[in-house]
Amino acid sequence: MRLLMVILLVAVSAFSQVVITVDENVSKNQDKSLWLALGASALLPGMGELYLDERSLVKPFVWTDAALWLTAIGSYFIGERYITSAHGYAVRHAGLTTDSKDVSLLNTVGDYRSRGGVAGQNSSPDMDEDYNQAMIRAGKAIDDEYSESIQWDWGSSDNPESTERIEEYKSRLRHFRVSRIVFQVSVGALVLNRVVSILDVMRVYRATSSRSFSQRMEFAPVCLEDGGGILMNVKF
């Protein structure tokens, strides 16, 4: 293959001009470690590119990662604030008798107006909305999921004030769920940002590490002022 290229070059040079250019970028990273570059990008996207002296995407990767970290951390703590607020609201307005902030439990507190009595009997007239009564109708023990000591009562649905309170409670839980979704999406985007940076490092390393002579030699026709010619681009 190399001999064929030399013969072609000699033949062409007999009838035209030959312009030789050298691209040194192809071998600038031949002494650098690919694994170190990949590890740097996995730790902080853009650092692998910086290590390989490919700076065009360093800032976009770094700023994207910083924005995602701020979003993830912010949404996590906002979610914690909302779940704490919802729990405190239920304690104050529904008499919730537990310190647990278990999300499943707090959702149940919002789904049923009350829970009380060993047999599901509750002072609330809305027996269809009583948790214990619902468990009994479903053929389940009233303490299957939660201890009998955990009780609450939002009051009758005939009372507009109690209805407003339970709607406010549900609103705080919705804000918590939205915050958790934003947190999860941000974490996923952080992972994706690292994957993209790692793939980019592999591309850069492949393009800037040394290759064989035949792979590094390129021919292209060019038009010069005094006639046509062949451009031979040899990358070192």
pLDDT tens readout for residues 124-140:
545 568 888 888 888 88
What pLDDT does 138 receive? 83
The two structure tokens encoding residue 159: 């009372």
pLDDT tens readout for residues 9-24:
444 444 444 444 444 5
**In which element (H, E) is residue 115 found?**
strand 114-115
Report whether 144 contacts 99 (CB < 8 A). no
- Please state, in angstroms and rounded to a whole number, the distance separating the CA atoms of residues 184 and 195: 17
Tell me whether residue 155 is exposed, middle or buried, using C-beta atoms within 10 angstroms of its C-beta: 0 to 12, 13 to 18, 19 or more. Answer: buried
| The dihedral formed by the CA atoms of 228, 230, 235 and 236, expressed in degrees to the nearest 10 | -100
Q: How many domains does the chain have?
A: 1
Q: Starting at the edge strand that comes first in sequence, how are the strands of the sheet with 227-235 ordered?
A: 17-23, 227-235, 217-224
DSSP label of 145: S
What pLDDT does 158 receive? 80
Mean pLDDT by 10 residues, the chain (236 residues): 50 46 60 92 95 92 97 98 97 94 95 71 58 85 87 86 94 97 98 97 87 47 55 48
Q: Closest by alpha carbon to 110, among 54, 38, 167, 156?
A: 167
DSSP label of 130: B
What pLDDT does 29 receive? 76
**In which element (H, E) is residue 152 found?**
strand 152-153
Q: How far is CA 52 from the centre of its chain?
A: 25
Backbone angles phi, psi at 117, to 5 degrees: 85, 140
- Amino acid in position 229: G
Q: Are strands 217-224 and 114-115 parallel, antiparallel or unpaired?
A: unpaired
What pLDDT does 222 receive? 55
Query: Is residue 146 situated within a structural domain?
Result: no
Query: Is residue 223 situated within a structural domain?
Result: yes
Containing structural domain, residue 213: 17-113+154-235
- Amino acid in position 205: Y
Query: Is residue 148 situated within a structural domain?
Result: no
